[in-house]
């Protein structure tokens, strides 16, 4: 795929996904498909620990080599490009503290 921007998922808790895939499988598939930011609205069924559980899940996928470190690094770089571009001083202006 030629697109190199940030990809954001739709809500992985929505029925179209949750009715067919476990959270673990949905997260893994999203990451493998190139998603950089995974969204959970956490509104249909509130899960207080959804963020730390998802972080643990992704760390486990990386540790078990189901998701490569390079895949995580790609997302980190793409998200970083957005952060740098959103700096109040701009990405290339003197005094910018965004790295």
What's the pLDDT band for 2 if we cut at 50, 70, 90?
Answer: confident
Residue indicated by tokens 């739709």? 10
Q: Is the pLDDT of residue 25 over 70?
A: yes
pLDDT value for 74: 93
φ/ψ of residue 11, rounded to 5: -65, 115
Give the tens place of pLDDT for each residue, 53-92. 999 999 999 999 999 999 999 999 999 998 888 766 655 5
pLDDT above 70: percentage of residues in the chain = 86
More confident residue, 57 or 43: 57
Alpha carbons 8 and 40: distance in angstroms, whole number: 11
62 and 72 in contact (C-beta within 8 Å)? Answer: yes
pLDDT value for 88: 64
CA 71 to chain centre: 11
Q: Is the pLDDT of residue 5 over 70?
A: yes
Calculate the alpha carbon distances from 87 to 5, 8, 78 in Å: 18, 20, 15
With CA atoms as reference, report the closest residue to 26 among 1, 50, 44: 50
Domain boundaries, the chain: 8-85
């Amino acid at each position: 795929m030629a697109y190199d921007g940030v990809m954001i998922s739709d809500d992985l808790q929505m029925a179209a996904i949750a009715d067919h895939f476990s959270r673990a499988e949905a997260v893994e598939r999203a990451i493998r498909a190139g998603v950089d930011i995974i969204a959970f609205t956490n509104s249909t069924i509130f899960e207080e620990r959804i963020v730390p559980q998802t972080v643990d899940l992704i760390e486990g996928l990386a540790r078990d080599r189901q998701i490569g470190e390079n895949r995580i690094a790609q997302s980190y770089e793409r998200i970083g490009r957005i952060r740098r571009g959103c700096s109040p001083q701009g990405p290339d202006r003197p005094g910018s503290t965004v790295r």
